[in-house]
Structure 1
Amino acid sequence: MKVGLITGDPGHPVLAAVADLLVRRGHDVTTVPPAGPVTGLADVYLLKARTPQALALAEELERRGAPVVNSAAATGLCQDRVRMADLARAAGLPFADTEAVGRLGELVDPAYPFVVKSRHSRRHDLVARVDGPARLRELAERWPEEPVVTQPFVPGTGWDQKLWVVDGQVFAARRQSELATGTGKSGRAEDWEPSAARAALALRVGEVFGLDVYGVDLVDGPAEPVIVDVNAFPGVRGRPGAPEALVALALRVGAQRVGVQPGPAGRALAGLGAGLGAGLGPGRGVG
């Protein structure tokens, strides 16, 4: 089977592990730059890059009949935090109140403290806590043209709960929140095993957003966990079993396209991924 990796960083630890597993089992792996071009179709593509060029390429591949994980539409939806929040809340998910406010300089009499984020999710985007007018002015000067959204600041426990899902397998960790510490950097990370209810919430997010590989960021609200972000195809670094789960997903989706079942190696790998996910539990590995 031929598997394409759409990425600007083929050396990413998870993608490198996926490629190694596939090649060792006799499959072909090709790295596709986000801007393309693509001459011959692979049986399945993993869409790690989320730039506009990568989304356009994924749409083209889908038009040509190739399956893409995650789809271009689902990935694009998660790039717009307003659309993301609207869909989540319409589906009954406990997503943070998210308001589009234009640019930071256009905010008038906000209720402090609050969280401001770039409307369009991407690497190195704006995510900051704003405690007062001085901080607001500082951010407005640094990000004068950035379209933003605001969310209420939820103190919670000071820990961000990170859940990653790969084809129905849940992996998790928690990190000291950069918003709670006020340092602008996240603190230490540690293993964390979510409750069955929180794992089920993460799985429900995938159903609503049409995602197979994604991350869900939770904080503890006054009465229930609050979803503050959803990310399509996050790094999933350091999670034992995650590369195997990605490989099993790619082989399953690719086999559906060509109308065959995965061979013995593919079936064995799928079982290995499931066994690792079940045996290690959702909270193993932090990265």
Structure 2
Amino acid sequence: MRLCFLVEEHYRHDGMPNEVVRQLTAWGHQVDVVRPGGSLLRMDGLVRAGAHDAWVLKTVSGGPGLTLLEAAAAAGTTTVNDARSIRGVRDKALAAALGSARGLPLPPTYALARPELLAGVPDSAYPLVVKPADGSSGRGVHLVSSPDRLAALLPELAGEGMLIAQPYVPNSGTDLKVYCVGGELYATERRSPLHPDSPVRERRVPLPAEVARIAARVGEVYGLDLYGVDVLLGPDGPVVVDVNDFPSFRQVPDAAARVARAVLDLARSGGEHPAAAPLPPARPHARPVPVPAQAAAGAGDGA
């Protein structure tokens, strides 16, 4: 098969996706790597129907890669993940609206175009987590303890563009990161970016059944095949605080080979999975019920 990987400069030397590219090449597939942030691109020559079996995106949220992926999708090429789905989850304000409307356990979310509008958030919502709507990798995440702490933060938020604000979910200082690859779920525990002094080291952990059901539902709601979900175990149960397309898959066993096989399966099926068995009880990893990526994406045109 011939595949095109869009890889941002930020990930130029990262194991993911470079190890996946090496694995696919070792299996005899042709992989073209395009770096959209550092190349002069002639669009009419780059995106041609039938030139590749699938395009794969691994870029930062604000980079130009998604535009190229959408161009490939418009030309009829299979994309991993679905281009409309990626657009949805990379806009955290849109992701919050879509997820809440479809029953995912998300915190109340305020969206604002200018940081001074945070003054309108009710005092009862504090402590407040504020972050860019297009942020990634923990960039620009702030915990505001009370309204009187807001003024000092405004200059730092200037220039971030659209912001979202959510009430802080009390937790132990750790995030549960659930990865979905090849229809399977893997859970890791890691230090929360809001609690940098937490002694927790990143490690694989058993996946609770309730969290497994939520993580599988995330793929259905947003139309994603390869993704990660950040979950906090709050006092009222699990809460989804972020969704990432094509994450790092750290701590997933044989991650490069698993992701490479998933990319090939999606390329061969045009982005759709065959039906699988229902979600079993909690185990270290669980196999969710896949939903055709394009069908799920069509329900919400994104995320």
Task: Provide the TM-score with structure 1 as the length reference.
Answer: 0.82
The alignment-based identity, stated in percent, is 32
What are the ranges of 5 or more consecutive residues in structure 2 without an aligned counterpart?
Answer: 271-282, 287-303
2: CA distance between counterparts of 1:189 and 1:229? Answer: 18
1:267-286 alignment, distance < 5 Å: 281-282=284-285
Q: Pick from 85, 108, 125: which aligns with 1:74?
A: 85
2: CA distance between counterparts of 1:178 and 1:123? Answer: 9
Q: Tell me how large the CA RMSD over aligned residues is.
A: 2.4
Paired residue type of 2:35: P
User: Does structure 1 conserve the Cα–Cα contact (< 8 Å) formed by 2:3 and 2:32?
Assistant: yes
Paired residue type of 1:43: D
1: CA distance between counterparts of 2:169 and 2:66? Answer: 32
* Deviation of 1:89 (Å): 1.0
In the alignment of these two chains, the number of paired residues is 259
2: CA distance between counterparts of 1:220 and 1:250? Answer: 31
Q: Tell me the equivalent position of 2:262.
A: 249
Change (3 A) 1:238 1:34: farther
Paired residue type of 1:92: G
| Greater Cα shift, 231-240 or 103-112 | 103-112
Change (3 A) 1:158 1:232: same
Change (3 A) 1:186 1:18: farther
1:1-287 alignment, distance < 5 Å: 1-8=1-8, 9-34=11-36, 36-37=41-42, 38=46, 41-49=51-59, 50-108=61-119, 110-111=123-124, 112-122=126-136, 125-133=139-147, 135-146=149-160, 147-179=162-194, 181=195, 188-257=201-270, 281-282=284-285
User: Does structure 2 conserve the Cα–Cα contact (< 8 Å) formed by 1:55 and 1:72?
Assistant: yes
Paired residue type of 2:52: A
1: CA distance between counterparts of 2:199 and 2:110? Answer: 24
Change (3 A) 1:144 1:152: same
Q: Tell me the equivalent position of 1:267.
A: none
User: Does structure 1 conserve the Cα–Cα contact (< 8 Å) formed by 2:47 and 2:75?
Assistant: no
* Deviation of 1:39 (Å): 5.8
| Greater Cα shift, 94-103 or 45-54 | 45-54
User: Does structure 2 conserve the Cα–Cα contact (< 8 Å) formed by 1:177 and 1:186?
Assistant: no
2: CA distance between counterparts of 1:255 and 1:186? Answer: 43
* Deviation of 1:219 (Å): 0.7
* Deviation of 1:196 (Å): 2.1
1: CA distance between counterparts of 2:47 and 2:183? Answer: 32
